[in-house]
Structure 1
Amino acid sequence: MQKNWHKVRTIFLDIILITMGSLVFAVGAEAIIVHHKFIIGGLYGTGLFAYYKTGYLSPGIWFFLLNIPLFVAGWFYLSKRFLLYSLYGVTILTFFSEVLTLNFQINDQLYAAVAGGAICGLGSGIVLRSRGSAGGLDIVAILLNRYFNLGVGKFYIMFNTVLFLVVMSQYKPDIVIASIIMTFISSVSLEHVLALFNQRKIVYILSSNHEAIVETIIQDLNMGATLLEAQGAYSGEKKQMVMTITNNLQVKRLENKVFTIDPDALFIVENSFNVIGSGFNKRQNY
């Protein structure tokens, strides 16, 4: 019963994240991007380009149509869960793009590029916190990575390079440059959103009172810990090093407790953005 409830709660959270992220992305696209005729990277940017050049349909509808062959291919090679989540993401993003009629009245092109990139990157980052995606190049990138070992980031760079080369032949340089700036800011915004959720601190502690420190970590902070064999290079003395993983909020509490127990302890902190398993993030299966 508890397992089923956890599964339902996880699915509900995924749906909420995809919906919220798609809404935020659509706001950035409809309130800023289309009013300046910018091109953002990826398949949505391809839909924007098709809309600008033909005047038919809308960016959201173009985006939906461009995704259809990708979903057909992905159905045979990717997990059905991932594809169903992604299909929902594409559908809801298309819906929001169709119903929203916004204009933030940002007239300066550079300001518009910065704001549009930040908002769309935020939306994309929220979607990617789920176990699905908003469709688009994610499906192609995963397939190419799985079967041809082509890095996901490299594929995005290759696709956007080709897209912007085509755009350069059709638009004035200021639009192209603003679009590139916007796409870059969108990528940075997306990375910051993912890092905000994913960032962990790996802490290594060297102390002669490692037993008391481990007990405090487990009992007071409700965290796990691992003992590693260590040996002093100069003295040859064997020691026990404590390793634990925490977050930005807990690391200061941990530091205070460690130095309360042993003022001479060695306290080392490293950043990590991808801790999978054992109570942390679950591995995503595509």
Structure 2
Amino acid sequence: MKKKFYEWAKQTFFLVLGSALCAFAVKAILIPQEFISTGLTGAALVLYYKYPVVSVEALYLIINIPVFLLGWRFVGIRFVLYSVWGMIIYSMILFFIDVQINIADPMLAAVTAGSLSGIGVAIILRSYGSIGGTEIFSVIMHKRFSLSVGTGTAIINGIVLIASALLFPIETVLYAFVYATVNMLILDKIFYGMTGRKAALIISEQWQEIAKDLLGQCNVGITKISGKGGFRGTDKTILYSVINRKNIGAVKKIVLQKDPSAFMTLMTTEDVTGLRIGNQPHW
């Protein structure tokens, strides 16, 4: 019971922190500048600007109903339940925030709002849920087509921006494009960078001792690959492992201690799937 409560509290913390950043970007920066946003928040803002009878929060909730049904169908019930919880948190924060930051330079405002919302969405998507809208579509595309969450977000945002160009001045749409671009770049950088992994290839005559110490001291998984030297044609055993960034120093130290002449390469990985070392949330 304690474990379940701790897990729920941790997921809620991610949702609250990320939602606060996203809501602040919308309420404190985008609305005072009369910018349009992107995704379903953008759609809600478009309706709000044209028909300011219903609040942004209420419009966002209404638009999300069919989206959650898609999330249930293509992702899963746990993701949808956490996303409903996240959307409620986001809408409540959006309702209670009453802060306006009057940034004189519209370009700076677009970059600032895009950065804040990008960080916020990245934090939210490290949980088991989302805050609805674009994030659900992004997760569906990530699971079904292996698109990065940032790319999926960019596709949805592009559709909203094209529709907005028919209703708003081109300058407003271009600022929204800047906002969306910054949002996408920050989202991908933070989302994948929060749990970065490196793939290591190690070639050494002392591979047995190196493998033993890596398994014992760093607790990393290792795969042995048979290979041949290109010059002499001698048989080689190549060690392959995917490691956390925090373990890189320890791994290099072990390799060089056992064999100062060892050949080792470290390669950046983006999407790692696996029970122990995977860097994707288990949506």
The answer on whether the counterparts of 1:199 and 1:274 sit within 8 Å (CA) in structure 2 is no
Q: Is the partner of 2:32 in helix, strand or coil?
A: helix
The range that moved more, 136-145 or 201-210, is 136-145
Alignment correspondent of 1:67: 64
Number of equivalences: 282
Tell me by how many angstroms 1:11 deviates.
3.0
Alignment correspondent of 2:161: 164
1:88 corresponds, among 80, 85, 95, to 85
Structure 2: distance between partners of 1:261 and 1:29:
55
Matched ranges for 1:13-52 at <5 A = 13-52=10-49
Tell me by how many angstroms 1:256 deviates.
2.6
The answer on whether the counterparts of 1:79 and 1:285 sit within 8 Å (CA) in structure 2 is no
Alignment correspondent of 1:233: 230
Alignment correspondent of 2:209: 212
Q: Is the partner of 1:198 in helix, strand or coil?
A: coil
5+ unaligned residues in a row in structure 1: which ranges?
none
Alignment correspondent of 1:261: 258
The range that moved more, 13-22 or 252-261, is 252-261
2:53 corresponds, among 52, 56, 64, to 56
Alignment correspondent of 1:188: 185
5+ unaligned residues in a row in structure 2: which ranges?
none
Tell me by how many angstroms 1:222 deviates.
3.1
Structure 2: distance between partners of 1:128 and 1:171:
31
Q: What is the TM-score normalised by the length of structure 2?
A: 0.89
Tell me by how many angstroms 1:24 deviates.
1.1
Distance 1:169 1:141, change over 3 A: same
1:123 corresponds, among 120, 124, 129, to 120
Structure 2: distance between partners of 1:256 and 1:25:
41
Distance 1:60 1:115, change over 3 A: same
Alignment correspondent of 1:178: 175
Matched ranges for 1:136-155 at <5 A = 136-140=133-137
Tell me by how many angstroms 1:40 deviates.
2.0
RMSD of Structure 2 on Structure 1 (CA): 2.5
Query: Which amino acid is 2:239 matched to?
Result: V
Distance 1:266 1:189, change over 3 A: same
The range that moved more, 64-73 or 36-45, is 64-73
The answer on whether the counterparts of 1:201 and 1:246 sit within 8 Å (CA) in structure 2 is yes
Structure 2: distance between partners of 1:28 and 1:88:
20
Structure 2: distance between partners of 1:228 and 1:208:
14
Q: Is the partner of 1:171 in helix, strand or coil?
A: coil
Structure 2: distance between partners of 1:70 and 1:8:
28
